[in-house]
């Protein structure tokens, strides 16, 4: 029989190993997407509307499910869904569109939480149903009478073709449909 001390020692070591993996995941996310900047702010209703003028416009597919960008710097304005479809995103008026971006592109996302009673975020990662190893905004509070909570995220997508997801990691939200695909080509 191993001594109690030895068992505790093994337990501690495996615990440290898990903690170490957690730290590594934070320092170098497994997403392959690099975040070069995030900034949270509040926007007046007018400022949120004006932000749309800063967006890069992609080519909308006939089925309205895909936005294809050819630019090396892509600026998207993403909002949480309308009141009757809260667990979704709207980008360029499309619901959860697949974003096709060139390999190595810089993706600048402004996420605006337009919901009046729920927090949301916009994260990027390889698995949309797992909050692990994702990068993006923190949870943004719901809107108030005067302002929206918003966050800018600047990402560098990988230089090779790959598939990623954007999603909300508030429990139940991605599972409820709050996610979309980023296709790097
Ligand atoms: Cu959400």
pLDDT of residue 128: 79
Distance 83 CA to ligand 1 centre (A): 12
Q: Is 156 helix (H, G, I), strand (E, B) or coil?
A: strand
Average pLDDT over residues 9-27: 37
The average confidence (pLDDT) of the chain is: 84
- Give the residue, 153 or 4, on which the prediction is more confident: 153
Distance 115 CA to ligand 1 centre (A): 9
Q: What is the pLDDT of residues 101-113, one digit of tens each?
A: 999 999 999 999 9
pTM of the model: 0.81
Distance 117 CA to ligand 1 centre (A): 11
Q: What is the pLDDT of residues 123-164, one digit of tens each?
A: 999 887 776 678 899 999 999 988 999 999 999 999 999 999
Q: Domain ranges for the chain, please list them.
A: 18-129+143-184
Distance 165 CA to ligand 1 centre (A): 14
Among residues 62, 29, 38, 9, which one has the least CA distance to residue 132? 29
CATH of domain 18-129+143-184: 2.60.40.420
Cβ contacts of 123 within 8 Å, gap of 6 or more: 131, 134, 135, 136, 137, 166, 167, 168, 169
Contact 132, 25 (CB under 8 A): yes
- Give the residue, 25 or 79, on which the prediction is more confident: 79
Q: Which helix (H) or strand (E) holds 14?
A: helix 4-27
Strands of the sheet containing 94-95, edge to edge, are 34-44, 147-156, 106-113, 73-80, 89-91, 94-95
């Amino acid at each position: 029989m191993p001594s109690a001390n030895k068992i505790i020692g093994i337990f501690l070591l495996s615990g440290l190993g898990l903690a170490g993996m957690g730290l590594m995941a934070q320092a170098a996310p497994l997403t392959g997407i690099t975040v070069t900047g995030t900034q949270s702010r509040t926007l007046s209703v007018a400022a949120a509307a004006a932000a749309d003028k800063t967006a890069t416009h992609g080519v909308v597919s006939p089925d309205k499910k895909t936005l294809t960008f050819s630019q090396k710097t892509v600026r998207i304005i993403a909002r949480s869904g309308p009141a009757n479809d809260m667990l979704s995103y709207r980008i360029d008026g499309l619901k959860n569109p697949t974003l096709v971006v060139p390999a190595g592109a810089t993706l600048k996302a402004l996420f605006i939480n337009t919901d009046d009673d729920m927090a949301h975020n916009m994260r990027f990662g390889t698995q949309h149903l797992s909050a692990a190893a994702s990068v993006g905004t923190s949870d943004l509070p719901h809107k108030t009478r005067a302002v929206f909570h918003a966050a800018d995220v600047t990402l560098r997508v990988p230089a090779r073709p790959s598939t990623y997801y954007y999603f909300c990691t508030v429990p139940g939200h991605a599972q409820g449909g709050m996610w979309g695909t980023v296709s790097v080509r």
